Structure 1
């Protein structure tokens, strides 16, 4: 059996080459994620809880999305590679091979490819993870001397995950041919059936309902937590489209065929009829491309929504004319100098107290870095929109107010305690208020009394300044600037602060890695789909179709496939965009329009280019054979 599997891999090395590339790229990205996770754990063990917690949080949040993408892309690639061999499986059954022998042979073939490609990709990803170190340092997540920890564990984890994904998919791919009678299998190998089993229909329906429920989870889960859940709904809906693909894609192609006049150009007419008759095969191409649209759109739109929400909440919370921040040349008594500046009626100092918040997950205790905003208890200059309790109560030591998001994730509501490490002290701080504007104000607010109780100095890093009546704001701004500070209205200040925070270089780098997996998978499926049609193209050439018409036909098919993928991806991501915006913003949903337009155009162009690169040599061979 092992010899038969090895022979099968060698005989179909062209098809398995594309699968191997996809498995290697997926393993490489998984290994990078594993390196980030292990490095974060080691930093925590060495006492750097802040940087370690950030890396662990980054890797775990990214890993969930990555695993979903890897499973979908690998499943699509492996199933397509096996679909092109349905005639071979039928012949094996016709000459006496048992269903179990066919399944074992295919399982071993996929295992051979996985165990060769995945380790190579994982090792490359292990050493390639070091390329992210400068990005992590520039983003301020880690110390300047940080170096990712390299060990065999990420490689082993990546190989194991690829194996447990690809091998079962291969076994499922051979099940249909193995269970079908040999004569029926030979007939079906030339004709595609759109029928989808009851189990797949039910699963697709459940995933659709689950995706819609997750999309609108911000209606009952507050803040960024609900928005994060909503962003995952796009992947569930893409998964549902993959399960119901032959029916869904076939329905779309039927509409295209009915809209196209029967008397059109031959190449276009052939293309429309072909996509209508081979919806199951083209589903494996549509799903990865739709995944590109969904993944890129939701990631960029979440970043856009987060930025917009921070600006909205900060502007709504600050009730003063100016926000003042010190420069490097400012003196330590800047707050007093600003308060005494001409035209200034009041200057309210705000500080930041570094700390760590304890959380317990499944019995494991972790400490996450947190910045506590120190606010005067009786100020009216800052309104975090208190929903429960009173902000005046933070005047007592060891008391805090928390955002609704922090209250939900920590489980510390009004009147309960939040365990915080301040310096060397571990404090069970009492929650005296819960407010809604956590993105603009911060997750935790406390008073100066808490810092004083633990001997921690608080330097004012922000001043909220009111200008006296009758004073020109420009004159007051000039007077404050002369003291060595920057003064701006709340909206200008928060916009500049958000822009100074960078463009989320780490998130963009990880997004590019994610899209690389999908792009390689899509390119592989497009190439395999086109190459597998050599006999079909040769038959069309024998019946009078010219090579130019064959190239035109494949181009039109690629355009229809790309546009269909764009439509499916857009429909799948729309509920997520609405849900994320509902959880963070007031007003209309926010979409990163430039990124969406670029990705949408790239998906269609990608389908055209990848198909053209594979179609030219394939049609050349097909016409030569004919």
Structure 2
């Protein structure tokens, strides 16, 4: 059996080479995620709870989407590599191989390729993970001297995940050929069957309903958690298309064929081909559609969250001006101690200022899991707000914000309340400095994205040794005073003063480091999908060598064959764009409805670039594979 499996790998090294590249890239990205997680845990263990918690949260949030994408891409690539060998499996059955022997041979083949490609990719990801260190430092997530922790654990985890995904897919891919009678298998290897089994139909229906339901989960799951949950809708719907793909894609191509395209023979051939080989093309459409869906949902959810945070901050701040120390203030500036506790006194002395309410931020951790352990603590920033202030309205829905004046009390956002189960009158376990505190929840508010997830009073922070340093002032201007003149006078002290809308917009623009980290992780995610799509396009085109040779024998020129494959690639790319767009619409609508309560927010620029890129990618990848394939096919036919 080992000899049969090794011979199969050597005989089909071209197809397995594409599969190996996909497995290696997937393993590399998984290893990067593992490095982030391990670095976060080690940083927490070293005493830097805030930075470690941020890294753990980043890795955890990214890992869920990544695992879904890796499973889908690896499954599509491995199944396509095996589908092109249906005739071979049929011949093995015809000469006496049992179904169990076929399955074992395929399992060994896929296992060998996985155990060779995955470690190589994982080691590359382990080394390349340190390229993210400067981005993490620039984003302020870690200390300037931070270095990612490298160990064999991320490599082993990545290899295990790839093997667990690829090997079962390989067995499933050989299952149909192994169970089919040899004569029937030979017949089916020459034509495609659009029908899918009852199990796949039911699973596709369940995933479709689940995707539509998940899309609007942000209506009852608040904040960023609701947005993240709703974004999974796009992946569930793409998964449903992958399961029911031959039916869905075949239906689309049938409608296209009924348009009766006239004119050039290449166009007619292309339309007929895509209609007759919908199952084969589904494995190409799904990865390309996944590119559109993944990029659009990630960028659009981020934009919706940013927009919601801006809206909530403007609604929460009732003061006229928001004052912050200048980020580039030099030691010899006019107000060198502006970030010190006397900030409020200096600003309050400015003519025209009626009141200046100081706000501060202190680091902490909140326990989200009663089981304990490093992963049970989530890093957070607690907003320190004086009790009884009217300059900040976080939208209290239960309790009273005035009660945070007592030590060891806390007000929580609806997001935090949902995640922790904390309610008014209950307790929330916090880690403040070296102390673990069971803080009493005195209020629940709705504007957590714009304000903060947790609000405490100065008494709580000082009781546990946390320095309360004013970083923001909410300034009310006296009636009749000149707002612009007051702002200019405050600016002359070396601070920045702006209305709430201008302030929050500038703050969002200055968060470029965090955006860079998110962009880098998104590009890694898209790299997995793009490599998978390129591999499927190349394997699909190369597998058509006999078909192209037959067309050449019947009079089709090589130029017409190239034109035919170009038209097919265009149809495939546009179909993938349509499927990806349709799959992402519910998620975008649901996220915007939950976070903003208004029309959908879409990152139009990112969507346009990805949409055009998918169609262009299909054309280029197909052309690169079609040129040598048609050359060989015409040479054989001649």
TM over 0.5: yes
Q: Distance in 2 between matches of 1:147 and 1:361?
A: 31
1:376 pairs with 2:375: no
Report if aligned partners of 2:218, 2:230 keep a CA contact under 8 Å in 1.
yes
Matches within 5 A, 1:250-289: 250-261=250-261, 263-289=262-288
Of the candidates 502, 512, 515, which is equivalent to residue 504 of structure 1? 515
Query: Which digits, 9 at most, give the CA deviation of each residue in 1:299-351, with x for residues without a partner?
Result: 11111111111110000011111111123343332311211211222211112
Which blocks of at least 5 consecutive residues in structure 1 are unaligned? none
Residue of structure 1 in register with 2:424 after alignment = 414
Residue of structure 2 in register with 1:570 after alignment = 581
Residue of structure 1 in register with 2:412 after alignment = 402
1:342 pairs with 2:342: no
The offset of 1:5, in angstroms, is: 0.6
Residue of structure 2 in register with 1:34 after alignment = 34
1:99 pairs with 2:110: no
Report if aligned partners of 1:334, 1:483 keep a CA contact under 8 Å in 2.
no
Match of 2:428, SS? Answer: strand
Match of 1:553, SS? Answer: helix
Report if aligned partners of 1:24, 1:119 keep a CA contact under 8 Å in 2.
yes
The offset of 1:447, in angstroms, is: 1.6
Matches within 5 A, 1:67-82: 67-82=67-82
Matches within 5 A, 1:215-614: 215-261=215-261, 263-327=262-326, 328=329, 329=333, 330=335, 331=337, 332=340, 333-360=342-369, 362-364=371-373, 366-502=376-512, 504-614=515-625
1:63 pairs with 2:66: no
Alignment CA distance shift 1:38-1:453 (3 Å): closer
Query: Which digits, 9 at most, give the CA deviation of each residue in 1:435-474, with x for residues without a partner?
Result: 0000111011122232343454322211111222222211
Which blocks of at least 5 consecutive residues in structure 2 are unaligned? none
Report if aligned partners of 2:399, 2:442 keep a CA contact under 8 Å in 1.
yes
Match of 2:258, SS? Answer: helix
Report if aligned partners of 1:414, 1:433 keep a CA contact under 8 Å in 2.
yes
Q: Distance in 2 between matches of 1:409 and 1:565?
A: 36
Q: Distance in 1 between matches of 2:147 and 2:356?
A: 43
Report if aligned partners of 1:224, 1:583 keep a CA contact under 8 Å in 2.
no
Residue of structure 1 in register with 2:159 after alignment = 159
Q: Distance in 1 between matches of 2:95 and 2:530?
A: 39
Report if aligned partners of 1:271, 1:554 keep a CA contact under 8 Å in 2.
yes
Match of 1:428, SS? Answer: strand
The CA RMSD over aligned residues, in Å, is: 1.3
Alignment CA distance shift 1:556-1:371 (3 Å): same
Match of 1:113, SS? Answer: helix
Match of 1:371, SS? Answer: strand
Query: Which digits, 9 at most, give the CA deviation of each residue in 1:167-202, with x for residues without a partner?
Result: 111111111111111111111111000000000000
Alignment CA distance shift 1:105-1:456 (3 Å): closer
Q: Distance in 1 between matches of 2:370 and 2:582?
A: 35
Residue of structure 2 in register with 1:204 after alignment = 204
The offset of 1:362, in angstroms, is: 4.4
The offset of 1:363, in angstroms, is: 4.9
Alignment CA distance shift 1:4-1:232 (3 Å): same
Match of 1:177, SS? Answer: helix
Q: How many residues matched?
A: 625
Matches within 5 A, 1:159-178: 159-178=159-178
